Amino acid sequence: MSDVRLLADPFDPARELAAFTAARPEAGGVVSFLGQVRAGGGVEALELQHYGPLTLPAMQDLAGRVRGRWDLDGLLVIHRSGVMMPGDPIVLVAAAARHRRDAFAAADFAMDHLKSESWFWKREKADGEWRWIEPRDQDFEDIARWG
Amino acid sequence: MSDVRLLADPFDPARELAAFTAARPEAGGVVSFLGQVRAGGGVEALELQHYGPLTLPAMQDLAGRVRGRWDLDGLLVIHRSGVMMPGDPIVLVAAAARHRRDAFAAADFAMDHLKSESWFWKREKADGEWRWIEPRDQDFEDIARWG
Amino acid sequence: MAINLVFLGRLEDAAGGGSRTIPLVPSIDAVLDGLEPGLASALRGPRVKLAVNGILLQDKDAPVLKDGDEIAFLPPVSGG
Amino acid sequence: MAINLVFLGRLEDAAGGGSRTIPLVPSIDAVLDGLEPGLASALRGPRVKLAVNGILLQDKDAPVLKDGDEIAFLPPVSGG
C-alpha cells in the first residue's frame, strides 16, 4: 500500500524513487516531488522539529486520504526531521498511477497538505543565529484549492 | 537552460533526475514525471517512431514555451524512440523551481503537450502482432485545460 | 506523581527547553498557573494547540490530569 | 533528379516500407497520382499532414518540388 516514513537521517531520493518505480511496473506513470534545502539566500542550516505522537500518524492519515481520493498503484511519502544543510533532501512524495492525471493530482495534493498541516516546526540558521519560521499565507491558499 | 533529449537507447531515470537535481541547489523543489511501458495487459513491446526533422525541434520548442510561462531553475525533457519492453522508461520530465506550484504546473503542462502534440507514432506488440495506436480523446481534453 | 510538559517550536525557547517534568496538578489551568507568567502567557496564545498523551484537545476540553500524562504545547506549524 | 518520400506510422504499412525514392515530378499532386491508388488514397486522408524538407505544409500550400526534396506523410500522432 503506502510507504510513509519520518526519517531522522539523510536519505537518497534517487534510490528511493528508483525502488518505488521498479516495484510498480503496472503503473504507466510516476509523479514525484522532491523538496530540498535551498542553497543561497544566506541560510546555513535548517531544522525540522516533530512531535512523535502526532507527526507520523498524521502523515499516515494524509496518505490514506490521498489513496481514497485517487486511483493509485502506490504512494511514497518520506520526510526528514532534524538538522539539514543546503542541498539536503527534506521531503520526497511519489505517486504511481495508471493514469497520468491521477498521479499529478495525488502528488500535488499530498504536498499541499504536508506543507500546511503537518506537525513540523522549522527553524533556520543565518548569520549564526537560529530563527523559528512562522506559517506562510501561501500554504493556506494552496490547500484551499482542493475544496 | 533546458536539457531536451531524444534517445534511441535506454536511459536511467534515477541517475538523470539525481544529476538534474544536484545541479540546481538553489531550487526548493523538483517535480518529475516518469512514464514507463506498462507491464500486464498483454503488451509485449512498444515502438515509438519519430521523424528526425520535426520531433526533436518540436520538443525544444515546447521546452521554450514552458520556460516562458513559468519561472523555473531548470527543465529536463528526455524521450525515448525505438522499441521498448514492459518496465522500460519512455519519458522523463523534470521541472526545478523556487516555488512548488511553478514546478508542478510546468511538468504537468509539458507532459500534456508532449503526449498530444509530439511527433511520435506508437505501435504495440500483443500476441506477436504489431498494431499502430490511434490518438486518444483524453489527450485533447488534457491539453484544453491550459487555455 | 508527575506530568510531563513538551514545548514545540518557538515555545521551546520561551520555556528554556523542550520539555519539563512538574508535580501532578488536576487541570491544565492549574499547570499554567504554576509556570512563570511569561511562559504561561505564551502557552495561552490563541493559536497554540494542546495535545494530552498524543490526542489533540478540542476547544472546550478540560481533561482531568493523572500521573504520567504528557501535555504538548503546539504553536502553528511552519509550512513550506 | 529524384525526391524522397517518408511514410510515418500506419502509412508505413500502407506503403510497404518507411521510405521510397521516386523520380522528380513538379507537384505533390503529381507525386500522389504516380503512386498505387490504395496508397494515394491513404496519403490523401483528411488527417494526414505533410512536411517538405522538415517544414509542415499549411492547407493551401502547393510547393514546386525540386531535386532532392523530402516529403513526409504524417498521420495523427498517437498520444499517451
pLDDT at A40: 87
In angstroms, the separation between the Cα of residue B134 and the nearest Cα of chain D is: 5
**Contacts for A131 with CB less than 8 Å, ≥ 6 apart:** A123, A124, A125
How far apart, in whole angstroms, are the C-alpha atoms of residue A81 and residue B99?
A: 21
Tell me what percent of the residues of chain D surpass a pLDDT of 90.
88
Q: How many domains does the structure of chain A reveal? A: 1
How far apart, in whole angstroms, are the C-alpha atoms of residue B12 and residue B76?
A: 14
DSSP assignment string, chain A: -EEEEEESS---HHHHHHHHHHT-TT-SEEEEEEEEPPPSTTEEEEEEEE-HHHHHHHHHHHHHHHHHHS--SEEEEEEE-EEE-TT-EEEEEEEEESSHHHHHHHHHHHHHHHHHHS-EEEEEEETTEEEEPPP-HHHHHHHHTT-
Is residue D39 situated within a structural domain? yes
Task: Give the other-Cβ count within 10 Å of A4's Cβ.
Answer: 18
Is the Cβ of A29 closer than 8 Å to some Cβ of chain B? yes
How far apart, in whole angstroms, are the C-alpha atoms of residue D2 and residue B68?
A: 42
The single-letter DSSP state of residue D26 is S
For residues D4-15, one letter each, b for 16 or more C-beta atoms within 10 angstroms of the residue's C-beta and e for the rest, the string is: ebbbbbbbbebb
Q: How many domains does the structure of chain D reveal? A: 1
Q: On the CB side of B103, how many CA atoms lie within 13 Å of its CA? A: 28
CATH of the domain at D59: 3.10.20.30
Q: What are the tens digits of pLDDT across the range C24-67? A: 999 999 999 999 999 999 999 999 999 999 999 997 788 999 99
Whether D80 has a pLDDT exceeding 80, the answer reads: no
Average pLDDT of adjacent 10-residue blocks, chain A of 147 residues: 95 96 93 95 94 97 98 98 96 96 97 92 95 78 77
Which residue of chain B is at minimal alpha-carbon distance from A15? B14
The CA radius of gyration of chain A, in Å to the nearest whole number, is 16
Whether C80 has a pLDDT exceeding 60, the answer reads: no
Task: Give the other-Cβ count within 10 Å of C15's Cβ.
Answer: 21
Across D52-70, average pLDDT: 93
Q: Which has more pLDDT, A105 or B1?
A: A105
In angstroms, the separation between the Cα of residue D68 and the nearest Cα of chain B is: 15
Pairing of strands B2-7, B74-80: parallel
Quick one: pLDDT band at residue B145, thresholds 50, 70, 90? Answer: confident
Best B80, B119, B139 member to test D by mutation, with max D CBs in 10 Å, is: B119
Bridge partners of residue C74, in order along the sequence: C49
Is residue A145 situated within a structural domain? no
Quick one: pLDDT band at residue D60, thresholds 50, 70, 90? Answer: confident
Is residue D45 situated within a structural domain? yes
Bridge partners of residue A83, in order along the sequence: A47
Interface of A with C in 94-123 (CB under 8 A): 115-123
Quick one: pLDDT band at residue D57, thresholds 50, 70, 90? Answer: very high
How far apart, in whole angstroms, are the C-alpha atoms of residue C8 and residue C21?
A: 15
Is residue A18 situated within a structural domain? yes
Whether B147 has a pLDDT exceeding 80, the answer reads: no
Pairing of strands B45-50, D55-56: unpaired
How far apart, in whole angstroms, are the C-alpha atoms of residue B37 and residue B46?
A: 7
ipTM exceeds 0.95: no
Is residue C45 situated within a structural domain? yes
How far apart, in whole angstroms, are the C-alpha atoms of residue B48 and residue B10?
A: 13
Q: What are the tens digits of pLDDT across the range B33-87? A: 999 999 988 899 999 999 999 999 999 999 999 999 999 999 999 999 999 999 9
Contact call for A121 and C56, based on CB within 8 A? no
Report CA torsion sign: A82, A120, B30, B100: negative
Read off the amino acid at residue C47: R
Is residue A85 situated within a structural domain? yes
pLDDT at A56: 97
What the block records as the C-alpha cell of D69 is 526534396
Task: Provide the residue range defining the domain that includes C9.
Answer: 2-74
**Contacts for B61 with CB less than 8 Å, ≥ 6 apart:** none
What the block records as the C-alpha cell of B17 is 533526475
How far apart, in whole angstroms, are the C-alpha atoms of residue C18 and residue C11?
A: 8
Quick one: pLDDT band at residue C78, thresholds 50, 70, 90? Answer: confident
The single-letter DSSP state of residue D39 is H
What strands lie across the sheet with B2-7, from one edge to the other?
A: A2-7, A74-80, A89-97, A29-36, B29-36, B89-97, B74-80, B2-7
How far apart, in whole angstroms, are the C-alpha atoms of residue A26 and residue A98?
A: 7
CATH of the domain at A121: 3.90.1170.40
pLDDT at A140: 67
pLDDT at A41: 83
Interface of B with D in 35-94 (CB under 8 A): 49, 51-54, 57
Is residue C80 situated within a structural domain? no
Is the Cβ of A18 closer than 8 Å to some Cβ of chain B? yes
- Global pTM reads 0.92
Is residue B78 situated within a structural domain? yes
Is residue B143 situated within a structural domain? no
pLDDT at C45: 93
Q: What is the 3-state secondary structure (H, E, C) of B77-91?
A: EEEECEEECCCCEEE
Is residue C64 situated within a structural domain? yes
Quick one: pLDDT band at residue D9, thresholds 50, 70, 90? Answer: very high
How far apart, in whole angstroms, are the C-alpha atoms of residue A21 and residue A31?
A: 10
How far apart, in whole angstroms, are the C-alpha atoms of residue D75 and residue D9?
A: 7
Quick one: pLDDT band at residue B134, thresholds 50, 70, 90? Answer: confident
Q: Report whether A10 contacts A80 (CB < 8 A).
A: yes
Across B135-145, average pLDDT: 73
User: Which residues of chain A make contact with C9, given a CB cutoff of 8 A?
Assistant: 49, 121, 123, 132
Q: Report whether D6 contacts D68 (CB < 8 A).
A: no
User: Which residues of chain B make contact with D76, given a CB cutoff of 8 A?
Assistant: 134-135
**Contacts for A113 with CB less than 8 Å, ≥ 6 apart:** A62, A65, A143, A146
Instruction: Find the CB nearest C79 among A49, A123, A135.
Output: A135
In angstroms, the separation between the Cα of residue A41 and the nearest Cα of chain B is: 9
Contact call for A26 and B17, based on CB within 8 A? no
Q: Report whether A55 contacts A127 (CB < 8 A).
A: no
User: Which residues of chain A make contact with C79, given a CB cutoff of 8 A?
Assistant: 115-116, 133, 135-136, 138-139
Q: On the CB side of B62, how many CA atoms lie within 13 Å of its CA? A: 29
| Mean pLDDT across chain B | 93
Q: Report whether C20 contacts C5 (CB < 8 A).
A: yes
Task: Provide the residue range defining the domain that includes A28.
Answer: 2-136
Is residue D79 situated within a structural domain? no
Contact call for A134 and C74, based on CB within 8 A? no
Backbone angles phi, psi at C38, to 5 degrees: -65, -45
Contact call for D10 and B138, based on CB within 8 A? no
Is residue C10 situated within a structural domain? yes
Is residue A98 situated within a structural domain? yes
